[in-house]
Amino acid sequence: MNWTLALPEIVLAVLGMAILMFGVLQKRHNPFHLASMLTVGAFLVAGMLVIAGPEGLGYHGQFTSDPFSRFVQVLVLVASSLTVIASLDYNDHANLRRFEFPVLILFATVGMLVMAGASNLMTLYVGLELQSLSIYVLAAFARDELRSTEAGLKYFVLGSLASGLLLYGISLVYGFSGTMEFDKLAMTLADPTKVSAGLIVGIVFIVAGLAFKVSAVPFHMWTPDVYEGAPTPVTLLMGTAPKVAAMALLVRAMATPFGHLLGQWQQLIVLVSIASMLLGALAAIGQKNIKRLMAYSSIGHMGYVLIGLAAGTPNGIRGVLIYLVTYVFMNAGTFACIIAMRRRGRSLERISDLGGLGKTDPMLAMWLTVFMFSMAGIPPFAGFWGKYFIFTAAVQSGMWALAVIGVLTSVIGAFYYIRIIKVMYFDTAEAAFDPRSASLSTLAAVSGLFTTLFFVFPAPLVGAAEAAAKVLFG
C-alpha cells in the first residue's frame, strides 16, 4: 500500500489540528492573525508536497494521484490561500477575529484535496462532506448576524438534500454494478448490456448532487441567498475552491467510471450548461447587490465550464482547467475589491456605492475594471482566454449550438459587467471609501496582474492543463 500518495492531505490535516491546539492554548493575544498565517504556511507545505509527491493508485483503489488531481489540488490550495488572506482584513472589521476561521478553511481544503484525488465513489462522498460541513459552519460564522445564520442554515438544509441525492445515486450505481471503484465501474460499463435503467438513474442522481456543489441550474437556488448572507471572505471561498474541487470531481466522475456512457450524459451536461448560462446571464441583470450579482455570475461561469466537459475531449478538459484557473483569480480579485468597499467602518454591497470610484480611488477602480472586463471575456484579459479554449473545444466537437449560446450569453453578461465600470467612471462620485489594508491591495494587485498578463506567458499553464486533461480522455 502506497500511503505516501495521500501525504499532502495527511500533513495538512495534522497541521490543522496543531493550529487548532495552538489557538486554544494561546491566551494572551488574539491568535486570529497568527493562525491565519500558519494556515497559509500549511497550504504552502501541502502544495509543495503535492508537487513533489509520487503518482499512482493507492488505498485499495480508493485514492489516486495523477497530473489531473495535482493540477486541481494546487489550484485549490492557491484559492484557499487567497481566501485566508482576504479574510484578514474583513474579519478584523466585522468583528470575526476568531482563530477557528482559518482552521475551518483548512479542513474544508483537506476535503477538497481528497475530492480531487478520489477514485472511489465513497472517497468522493467523504471528501465532499468534509468540505461541505466546514463551509456550512463558515457560512454561519457571523453568528450574531441574521443574514449569516440564515445563509448557513439554508446552505446546510439544501446541501444535506444534495448529499442525500448523491448518496442515493451512489447506492443505485453500486446496487446495479456491484462496485464503487472508478476503474472497475469503467470496465463494467464498457459492456453496453450491463447498463440498466437503475444505473442510469443513479448517474443522474450523482450528477445532481455534484451540480448542487457547482451551483448549476436547476440546483443553483441556494447560491444568491447564501452568497449574499455569508461573510464576504466565505463567499469568496465558495466562489472559488469548492467550485474547482466539485467541478474536478464531476469531470473525473463523468470521464473515468462513466466515460463509456459519454453519448448519454453528454446531453445531460449540455442541458445543464445551457440552462446555467442563460440563467446566469439573465438573472444578474436586475441585481443591485454586488454579491448577489457575483452569485449569478458564478452560475453563468459554471455553465461555460460545463461546455468544456460536454465537449468530452482532452481539449475540452484542458479548457475546463484553464477556465477554472482564470476564474479563481478574477473572482478572488473581484471579492478583494468588494471587501474594500467600506465607508466609515461599514461594509457596502450595493453596486451604486461604487459611483465615482474612478475619481475617488483610481487604483481600485482600475483593478475592478480589469476583473469586470475579464469576466465579460474581453481580450486580452485572462477571462477571454478561458472562454476561448472552451469555445474552441466545443466547436471542434461540433457543438456549434452550445458555442453560439455561450457567445450570446457572454454578450448579455457583458452588459452587467460593463455597467459596473460605467457606474465607477461615469456616475456621480460618492464619498471615498475607507483606506484599504495592504493585504487587500496585494490580493487585488496579484489577481489583477495575473488576469492582465496571462496572455503573455500562457504556455506553462496550458501545458500543465493539457497534461492533466490527457489523464482523463487520453
**Using CB under 8 A as the criterion, which residues of the chain lie in contact with another protein when the complex forms?**
153-154, 157-158, 161-162, 165, 197, 200-201, 204-205, 207-208, 212, 217-219, 221-222, 224-225, 263-264, 267-268, 271-272, 279, 282-287, 412
Please enumerate, as own/partner, the contacts of 86-89 that have beta carbons within 8 Å and a separation of 24 or more: 86/232, 86/233, 86/236, 86/332, 86/335, 86/336, 86/339, 86/439, 86/440, 86/443, 87/36, 87/231, 87/233, 88/33, 88/36, 88/437, 88/439, 89/339, 89/340, 89/436, 89/437, 89/439, 89/440
Kindly state the smallest distance separating residue 423's Cβ from another protein, in Å.
17
Identity of the residue, 196 or 442, whose beta carbon is nearer to another protein in the bound complex: 196
Q: How far apart are CA 115 and CA 244, in angstroms?
A: 10
Q: Distance between CA 418 and CA 377 in Å, rounded?
A: 11
Smallest gap from Cβ 198 to another protein, in A, equals 10
Nearer residue to another protein within complex by CB, 200 or 324: 200
Closest contact distance (angstroms) between CB of 195 and another protein is 9
Nearest CB to another protein, comparing residues 3 and 415: 415
Cβ distance to another protein smaller for residue 220 or 436: 220
Burial track 45-59 (b if 16+ CB lie within 10 A, e otherwise): ebbebbeebeeebbb
CB-count exposure of residue 347 (10 Å: 0-12, 13-18, 19+) = middle
Backbone φ and ψ of 62, nearest 5° = -90, -20
For residue 190, the minimal CB distance to another protein (Å) is 17
What is the radius of gyration, based on Cα positions, of the chain?
21
Minimum Å gap between C-beta 196 and another protein is 10
- Measured from the CB atom, is 155 or 329 closer to another protein? 155
- Buried b vs exposed e over 219-239: b needs ≥16 C-beta within 10 Å? bbebbbbbbbbbbbbbbbbbb
Whichever of 192 and 435 has its CB closer to another protein, that residue is: 192
Smallest distance, Å, CB 2 to another protein? Answer: 38
Q: Shortest distance, CB of residue 314 to another protein, whole angstroms?
A: 24
**63 or 265, CB closer to another protein?**
265
